[in-house]
Amino acid sequence: MRLLVLSIVLSLLCREVKLVLGDIGTATSYRPPYIPTGCFGNQQDQFPPGNLFVAVSEGLWDNGAACGRRYRLRCLSGHKKPCKGGATVDVKVVDLCRRSPCPSTIAMSTDAFASISRSPSTKINVEYIQ
């Protein structure tokens, strides 16, 4: 009987526990010009539909191995509640952040940033999953 009760309790708990596989970082928006990039130079076809791409900081760049990598980003928080209610965006890495030091973990194209944040000029906290 104890084993049955324990099994039921564990089953119920497992339904409520969600695994988080992502990392937490910050994101900012960056504006054109976007070309040339550190990954694909002047190729226009490097940019995914909707201009949903990012430049990453040195920590994610991995000596260029990040080129073409895809991430799903979700806005978590920021100054004056900029997040668009649980929205996520799928982006492609096309560049190394151009500013040194990079002001955030991920610099998002203006279109990508606008898809998850109401405020284009603020730094936001994001969850990113590869």
| Pure H helices in 17-121 | 58-61, 110-114
Distance between CA atoms of residues 54 and 108, nearest Å = 4
pLDDT one digit per residue (tens) for the chain, 130 residues: 665 555 565 565 555 444 556 899 999 999 999 999 999 999 999 999 999 999 999 999 999 999 999 999 999 999 999 999 889 999 999 999 998 899 999 999 999 999 999 998 899 999 999 9
Pairing of strands 124-129, 23-30: antiparallel
Give the model's pLDDT for residue 17.
46
* Helix, strand or coil, per DSSP, at residue 64: helix
Only one residue has tokens 């992502």, namely 22
CA 39 to chain CA mean position, Å: 18
